[in-house]
Structure 1
Amino acid sequence: MYNILIVDDEPLICRGLASLLETSGLDISNIYTAHNGYEALDYVKMENIDLLITDIQMGAMSGIELMQQAKIIKPWVQVIVVSAHETFQYAQLAIRLGAKDYLIKPINSEQLLNSVRHVLLHMDRSALNQEDMISDLREHFRMDQPLPQRTEILNRLLTEKDKIFTEQMYELEEINQVSLKGPYFTVIKIRLDFSSNSKAATFADKDRLLLQYAALNIVNEVLDKKWDHHSFYSPHEEISIIIQWDETSYGDSSVDKINQLEMIGRSLHFNIHKFLGFQSIVGISQILKGREFLNELNEQVNKAIVWNREHKDHHVFYFGDFKWDIICEDPTEEDLVAQSNMIVERANEYIHQNYTQKGLTLNEVAQKNHVSPNYLSYLFKKNTGSNLWEYVIKLRMDESKRLIQNTDLRRYEISERVGYESPEHFSKIFKKYFGISPSEMKK
């Protein structure tokens, strides 16, 4: 059973789409509707949303921005975008951010149902048991394997510091279809943790190679043609990915690229665990200009993965989250803990100062503390025991309760004071939190 969220600033369209889906016979548990991006984000944070269907132009927060924010919170949420405009730029950006379809208004009912059916069917694929999966992989083992010489060249580019930019290396790249023109690059590394699955840990070497091959195929499916990338085997049961941008694509400032990379990392970890049954650790480097820095980017991902020592229950690490200039090259456990505590304390201060602000997002709190949303969410929950956004809602609800019981302010005035876009949305959150409406509490 799936939960679907429909977002459009026209209530009539929301009701129409909800009614269509309710009578479709699809395996749907709940259908939620929201009339702006901020209201929609609260649903994403508080409910187990599987599919988001959103309009692209909605006033204060566009559908594109909603997609970005939703996927920061839960990268596995699937998205279908609807728009009144057949604009290539919008469609291209939506697909690049991971939208599964881009539909033009007025929406054709059958087209929408086919699109939703396709997305839900894809989500319904579950991991095979380990023996069946290995059997299935063996059956397809004749599928194209990565070219050994290409893999060797790419690994040399990441690991060798000297004499790698000679004419001979460029010739080898050309022969083996390795195009690294950039000029902007980042590196992602996936360390496969077979020990996290007791059965996988005991497999023969050839079967572990099959699992690595399956993981590489998952990488290529997640990145698909949306990203200009090279993915390849690296030593120690790792998979490396080099992503590159040309000047034009990198100059597009409509998307926060670090957040996008973290979404990719979390999606890779999620899908490898879902379909192959074991954990992985994902390291993400910064973005640098010039292929001569590939070695440095590789060192960054290796350092980022080190933080799994301190955070064994966390699996995606961005190099820029860790203040390497204020700790030693090989940080102690005390160094790691002190830095984590400092990040949470600063975030807590910022939340207390700004929780009544309309449109406050996890991304904003993270940016003010110079860390990624993914890492901040993890640290906050680990250190305080509370989900960060649940904590924001708690502060808002406690303040609204105080205002209801101690002032004569109207509902819309209280809604404004605690940071909600509309009195109706405020009332929904209030009733969900306290079990009674604001007017019932007032009585």
Structure 2
Amino acid sequence: MINLLIVEDEPLVRASIQSFLDWENHGFSFIGAASDGEEGLLFLKDHPETDIVLLDIHMPVMDGISMLKRMRESDLMQVVLILSADNQFQFVRTAFQLGALDYILKSEMDEISLLKQLKGAAEQIAAAGRKSENLHPKEKRLIIDALLEDILHNRNKELNCHLIEDLDYTIHFPCRIGQFTLELDGKNERIKQIIRLRGQEFLKDRGASEIHFLSSGKALFFISPDQAQSFSEDFSEILKDAMNLSPDIRYSCICENREELPGQFTYLQSLDVGQSRMIRRAQSYIRKNYASPQLSLEEVSHYVEVSRTHLSAQFKKESGMTFRDYLTKTRIDSAKKLLEETNLRVYEICEIVGYPNVEHFSRIFKKVTGISPNRYHQ
């Protein structure tokens, strides 16, 4: 049974709401009523079993906004639904900032709409109330993914932050938001499980617990700023070796606290604006196959099923560089990593990254980096 408290100064409104339905048959029980915020606070202190508060905004003695502030300060925060008149939207906005879940217009309220919103609030309570040790790991991950997505989109952020903390999930600050998209070709669930497991190996000591998947299909994680580059290199390498996948990982600016998360998430999405699925697939194919000396625009255009002329034009338009420049950058970036981390000779590395001729490779490497491969290796 979900326990309800109504805080409303109009006796007729209180009575109407309580008489709308046989609430107990729907799983709800009105355990109290208060005519102002002070009475509401006293009730909450004496009745910690309260689950949902229906809270009016304008009341004598203490209004709804003041009560919400006191609830937060006194650690009495429950799920709150605001009862609002049509001209009170500026106060509703403040209530959301203080952690209210939703609002109900008194002029439009009836038993059906109220029941629907109460059931939605009850679902949130159910998610929070189930202790993490009683959740199946897969179910816990899905709940965390959904709550994170709401937090990043700034939807009911205060409530969802409380819910996710109840699942023993913590974002360590400062951090960067990392994001990548993979073309999974219909094997989504199996691949996602593998990516989560392999990602966890590399993230556990880098400020995050696992990879999360959003409803958009993008994968997301949080990471300590000084670990972002090494994670990208290690994780990309393991996915390429294990599954022939090459994620294009992008990062937000540094987030110092959770208030900065939605803004940085929005910034991260803006990096992908205008980039079509065709170009993302083309870039992914290049990152998987750059080691082939024969890799060509024609081969990639055949893979993404467009003409080479169209792919060439769109590639330049959407990525800001030509197909050839992107392929060269991918090869040279890989060569730099091999020069830094292995004892391979230059002629061996040039073959690994798709250059059969060492003189040509050295010339291209110096053009891109400003120094020769031998000097870079020193």
Please indicate, yes or no, whether the TM-score normalized by the shorter chain is above 0.5.
Answer: no
Larger Rg: 2
Higher RCO, 1 or 2 (CA under 8 Å, sep at least 6)? 1
Give me the TM-score of the superposition, normalised by structure 1.
0.33
